């Protein structure tokens, strides 16, 4: 599997095993992927991939997921800071 641009991937892209999908995302089947993407923040998607790595023992993927987690977390914080600068007084949750 190509792990490039991991921050765009989800557990659903990494396995067809519905038990692993449920253990990492709380969703039951691959059909729940669209809901998962819509409702789950990218930071939490990366955390789910890291949880998936823990369950499967995939250390190589875990290292890449840790790096991707840092990237999406920084992007999220940068977005919040930009919104606060552009909209003083705005509360961003």
On whether residue 61 sits in a domain, the answer given is yes
Containing structural domain, residue 37: 6-86
CA distances from 32 to 17, 80, 83 (A): 13, 28, 31
Residues 61 and 4 sit within 8 Å (Cβ to Cβ)? no
93 in a structural domain = no
Percent of the chain at pLDDT exceeding 90: 65
How many domains are there within the chain? 1
Give the separation between CA 67 and CA 1, rounded to whole angstroms: 18
Does a structural domain hold residue 1?
no
Q: Kindly indicate the confidence band of residue 28, based on its pLDDT and cuts at 50, 70 and 90.
A: confident
Give 41-66 pLDDT, tens digit per residue: 999 999 999 999 999 999 999 999 99
- Check if the beta carbon of residue 15 is closer than 8 Å to that of residue 2: no
Query: Quick one: pLDDT band at residue 30, thresholds 50, 70, 90?
Result: confident
Return the structure tokens found at 31.
């059909």
């Amino acid at each position: 599997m190509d792990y490039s641009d991991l921050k765009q991937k989800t557990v659903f892209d990494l396995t067809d095993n519905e038990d692993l999908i449920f253990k990492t995302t709380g969703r039951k089947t691959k059909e729940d992927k669209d809901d998962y993407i819509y409702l789950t923040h990218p930071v939490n998607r990366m955390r789910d991939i890291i949880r998936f790595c823990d369950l499967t023992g995939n250390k190589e993927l875990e290292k890449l997921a840790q790096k991707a987690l840092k990237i999406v977390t920084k992007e999220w914080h940068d977005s919040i800071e930009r919104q606060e600068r552009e909209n003083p007084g705005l509360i961003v949750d």
